[in-house]
Structure 1
Amino acid sequence: MSSFLPPSRVSLPLLACLAWMALPGLAQAKDTDSNALGFKAYEKGDYKKAHGLFEKALKQNPDNAYARLNRARTTTLLNKGKEEVGTFDYCDYGSNWIFRALADLSRAVELDRAVVLPKIDEDAKGLKALKARSEYKKWRKAVSVLAGEAGGAEKVIRESPEWLFQAPRDIPVFITLKPDKKIIESRPPEDEKPAGQWSLKGEQLMFTPEKGKPAAWKVITEKYAFNEGQDFFFELQLVPVDAETSASGWLSGPLRMGPLEGDCE
């Protein structure tokens, strides 16, 4: 008599589970399919359908860098021009399509910068309206520092004269680095006033205030979080290399320059 016993019905779910585990790529299939189907709809010009599929892909896998990039494209295409309507609330981060698209691009760059960033730079269709905006251009400068691109911080500083300092519950201070190396400080609605001199030393910025010692500053890329910390976009910051406890006001840093324009604090 054979000692072989056929598998019971109870073991079938276990066998199915083992078969699923043996196929590591299968668990990602739905996610990949949603993004791929969305891209097909996108190429056909059905942006609304594509957007829904990209959102489905991100619900299944929030770390899908390609779906992030693609959703930024359809967010732009479906919402461009709305910022020109009188009812548009620029400071409503959840409804501002510019910030939503930049948040997806920021997360995509964070997840797979080497692959995603060239695709962003080459895009002339989905991101066209976003790329025309100053918010995107400032965001791209922040990404250039993050990626360590040619020219680096020195190029960014030379091309970025306007910076913002804003302490909690305080009036914003605007710092301008003039071509003649003067630092101009302005607090609306007051007039501008000189605040010192600036110079470049390699990739460091040297500030010599009207009163005080010269100090070295550096440019870095940081995240600006919004929607209660659920989203972010990249921005540039100027920060003192050696923070002095005696420094006050804008000399304590950081100075910010990023997609957010205006006072939304």
Structure 2
Amino acid sequence: MIEDGVPPGDQEDAEDPKPARRRWVALVKETAIVVALSLIIATVVRIFLVQAFLIPSESMQDTLLVGDRVMVSKISMHFGDVERGDVVVFEDPDNWLRRQPESDGGVGDSIKGFFEFVGVLPDDSEGHLIKRVIGIGGDTVECCDDDGRITINGVAIDESHYLYPGDEPAQEDFSVTVPEGELFVLGDHRSNSGDSRFNGSFSEDLVVGKAFAVVWPISRWSGVGAGDTFDDVPAPE
């Protein structure tokens, strides 16, 4: 029976707020579960599969520009060694960045750090560097031959595919034999890069992953590679 134009069910809800409260609580619980699962999945992807990094400096121009977001594959680190020509993100080996002691940035930095950790925001690359691998363990890297090119194990490489326009392969002569298990890296913008020329090689264990694509801004969508630059380089003796 309908009394006063109100259906019995609605009349009960109007008199008893508990059913409405239970529906609201259930909605909140479902939303919390979805958000938690999304964050867990994003975190797993970030830790084991791929991670976005924000390019903070000009050392890899014009391959990577300041503000670019690059995707870095961590899968490749589980199934193969780093190769010559790879653009890699690695942990600061020994204060290459000349960083000052970190201070507590407050709640804002904590929130930003959390969303970077779970993969919602790109990592701002603090404490990390991104460079191109020129020499791997056992390689002898020298600069320069009569034509001003870097040689690896006696073979000159043509770096015009990625070298910053107007830059020379190096501004000074050097000859380095890379220790086993270590990497010799250079920035593509040689005149504006603090790299292995000044800091030496570092352990391959510090590599976080290999950059494979620029994904932001959209106008910069592209792959990251070295072409055939290193194809003719022989294995170290």
TM interval, shorter chain, is: under 0.3
Which structure dedicates a bigger proportion of its chain to helix? Answer: 1
Larger RCO (CA within 8 A; separation ≥ 6):
2
Q: TM-score, normalised by structure 1?
A: 0.22
Structure number with bigger Rg: 2
